[in-house]
């Protein structure tokens, strides 16, 4: 970066949490605030922290928490936790220009039959049918009978879940500060996947946890296409890396007010294929349908591990088994080039909300159509 930049980043955060069980309702809240002056001279980053008054927010209504508790009781689940977090960001640039953004996300936590965490941008009551379907599968899931399955099978990721996959496959590897250590470092402008594959990082997508109006350097949030019809386009950039890669900035995020903003993902979105069939159930005679993903990891330079669950083994159009956990592993090239088909409708992922980089977690979102692979390596999670 050719010019010296000094900016002050202020973060105020407020969280409230309702825990509902047969014993009643417990309410907790906490608030924090802090700011730091970040100095950029092209290479070095200097940080000077300041104390800030703790914010006061009016308590929200308990009604969303009660709504979810009542619905969960219809499935025999008598306890849950609902939380809402509000984050207010302010950037002050010389000579006093101020940019502000307000972000919010909510979580629903269920501990039985297995711990599941759902993420929403608001109370999202209309998502109950999707939550109910996933919880019903979790109730049916037993120990994974991995010994009864071959080492490889076709896999179909349900609507939304493929967004988590490509958060790892395409997102992390294309962050400008790490791309040099990945297998994609010299592939910009080259085909890396089939023509049906288009992946974007989109903080402007409405209703996802990672949505925002600006990044953590005060730059306008922008939709960045990472893979366009199979062709690798450009990395995720902040102010410093944007100049190096000749790309617009807008992807900087900070884990806290004292952490320097670095390139990070927001919402990983896969574009639909209008020509694809509405349902993928007839693509393969036997396959695994992934309804949820518990965790996912990018292992540089090109390793990807997905811990799926619940997942359904389908054979001849019927459910053969419901798996609580299943490990899917492969190299980045296999995950990119192995895509056989992409569905016609993009749906949000409800079980994805946090991404950690160097120990600094941030809220993120994902949305995707169903995505089919003719063969993936299976393992016991």
pLDDT digits (tens, 9 = 90+) for 12-28: 999 999 999 888 899 99
Q: Specify the higher pLDDT residue, 358 or 157.
A: 157
Q: How many angstroms separate the CA atoms of 381 and 373, rounded?
A: 20
* Residue 220 shares a structural domain with residue 265: yes
Query: Could you tell me if 220 and 307 lie in one domain?
Result: yes
- Please say which residue of 97, 126, 155 terminates a domain: 126
Please report whether residue 332 resides in a domain: yes
Same domain as 352, residue 242 = yes
pLDDT-derived band at 227, boundaries 50, 70, 90 = very high
pLDDT tens sequence across 176-185:
998 888 888 8
* Residues 319/345, Cβ–Cβ less than 8 Å: no
| Residue-level pLDDT at 46 | 65
Largest CA distance in the chain: 67
Residue 131 lies inside a defined structural domain of this protein: no
**The domain containing residue 59 runs over which residues?**
5-126
pLDDT for 4 beyond 60: no
Distance CA 307, CA 296 (A): 6
* pLDDT score of 236 more than 90: yes
Query: Same domain for 243 and 373?
Result: yes
Q: Give every CB contact of residue 15 below 8 A, 6+ residues apart in sequence.
A: 29, 30, 31, 83, 84, 85, 86
Residues 100, 177 within the same domain = no
In a domain, 140, yes or no: no
Mean pLDDT of the chain: 88
When pLDDT is cut at 50, 70 and 90, the band that residue 146 belongs to is low
Task: Please tell me which residue, 299 or 44, carries the higher pLDDT value.
Answer: 299
Q: What is the pLDDT of residue 129?
A: 93
Q: What is the mean pLDDT of residues 55-80?
A: 87
Q: Which residue has the higher pLDDT, 123 or 45?
A: 123
What is the band of 1 on the pLDDT scale with cuts at 50, 70, 90? Answer: very low
Q: How confident is the model at residue 77 (pLDDT cuts 50, 70, 90)?
A: confident
**Structure confidence by residue, pLDDT tens digits, 359-371:** 889 999 999 999 9
Taking only the tens place, the pLDDT of each residue in 98-114 is 889 999 999 999 987 67
Phi first, then psi: give them for residue 162, nearest 5 degrees. Answer: -65, -20
Would you place residue 375 in the very low, low, confident or very high pLDDT band (cuts 50, 70, 90)? very high
210 part of a folded domain? yes
Q: Kindly tell me if the per-residue pLDDT of 86 is higher than 70.
A: yes
Q: Is residue 134 part of a domain?
A: no
Task: Tell me which of 70-74, 240-244, 292-296 is least confident.
Answer: 240-244
Asked if 186 and 311 sit in the same domain, the reply is: yes
Judge whether 243 and 271 are in contact, CB under 8 Å: no
The proportion of the chain whose per-residue pLDDT surpasses 70, expressed as a percent, equals 93
What's the number of domains the chain is made of?
Answer: 2
- 137 lies in some domain: no
- The pLDDT, as a whole number, for residue 235 is 94
Residues 154 and 284 grouped into a single domain: yes
In a domain, 236, yes or no: yes
Q: Contact, 325 vs 347, CB < 8 A?
A: no
Query: Same domain for 250 and 334?
Result: yes
Determine the pLDDT at residue 2: 45
Per-residue pLDDT tens over the stretch 316-353: 889 988 988 889 999 999 999 999 999 999 999 998 88
**Same structural domain for residues 279 and 367?**
yes
Q: Are residues 43 and 181 in the same domain?
A: no
Confidence of residue 243 (pLDDT cuts 50, 70, 90): confident
> Of 126, 154, 172, which residue is a domain's last?
126
The verdict on 165 and 283 lying in the same domain is: yes
Q: What is the pTM of this model?
A: 0.91
Confidence grade of residue 147 (pLDDT, cut at 50, 70, 90): low
Q: Answer yes or no: do 114 and 165 share one domain.
A: no
Of 91, 126, 161, the position where a domain reaches its end is 126
């Amino acid at each position: 970066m050719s010019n010296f930049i000094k900016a002050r980043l202020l973060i105020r955060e407020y969280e409230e949490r309702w825990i509902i069980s047969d014993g009643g309702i417990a309410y907790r809240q906490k608030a924090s605030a802090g700011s730091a002056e970040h100095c950029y001279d092209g290479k070095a980053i200097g940080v000077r922290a300041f104390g800030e008054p703790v914010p006061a927010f009016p308590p929200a209504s308990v009604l969303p928490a009660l709504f979810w508790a009542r619905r969960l009781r219809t499935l025999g689940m008598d306890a849950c936790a609902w939380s809402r977090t509000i984050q207010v960001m302010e950037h002050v640039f010389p000579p006093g220009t101020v940019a502000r953004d307000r972000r919010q996300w909510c979580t629903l936590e269920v501990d039985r039959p297995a711990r599941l965490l759902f993420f929403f941008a608001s109370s999202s009551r209309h998502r109950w049918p999707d939550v109910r379907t996933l919880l019903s599968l979790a109730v049916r899931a037993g120990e994974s009978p991995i010994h009864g399955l071959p080492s490889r099978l076709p896999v179909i990721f349900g609507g939304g879940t493929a967004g988590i996959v490509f958060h790892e496959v395409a997102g992390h590897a294309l962050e400008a500060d790490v791309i040099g250590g990945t297998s994609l470092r010299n592939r910009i402008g080259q085909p890396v996947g089939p023509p049906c594959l288009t992946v974007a990082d989109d903080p402007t997508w409405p209703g996802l946890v990672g949505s925002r109006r600006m990044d953590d350097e005060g730059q306008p949030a922008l939709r960045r296409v990472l893979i366009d019809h199979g062709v690798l386009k450009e990395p995720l950039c902040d102010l410093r890396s944007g100049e190096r890669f000749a790309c617009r900035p807008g992807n900087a995020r900070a884990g806290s007010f004292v952490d320097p903003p670095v390139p990070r993902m927001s919402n990983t979105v896969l574009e639909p294929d209008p020509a694809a069939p509405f349902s993928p159930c007839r693509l393969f005679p036997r396959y695994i349908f992934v309804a949820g993903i518990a965790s996912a990891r990018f292992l540089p330079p090109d390793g990807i591990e997905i811990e799926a669950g619940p997942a359904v083994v389908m054979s001849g159009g019927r459910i053969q088994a419901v798996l609580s956990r299943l490990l899917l592993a492969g190299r980045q090239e296999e995950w990119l080039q192995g895509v056989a088909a992409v569905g016609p409708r993009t749906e949000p992922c409800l079980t994805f909300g946090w991404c950690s980089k160097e120990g600094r977690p941030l809220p993120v979102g994902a949305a995707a159509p169903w995505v089919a692979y003719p063969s993936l390596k299976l393992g016991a999670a």
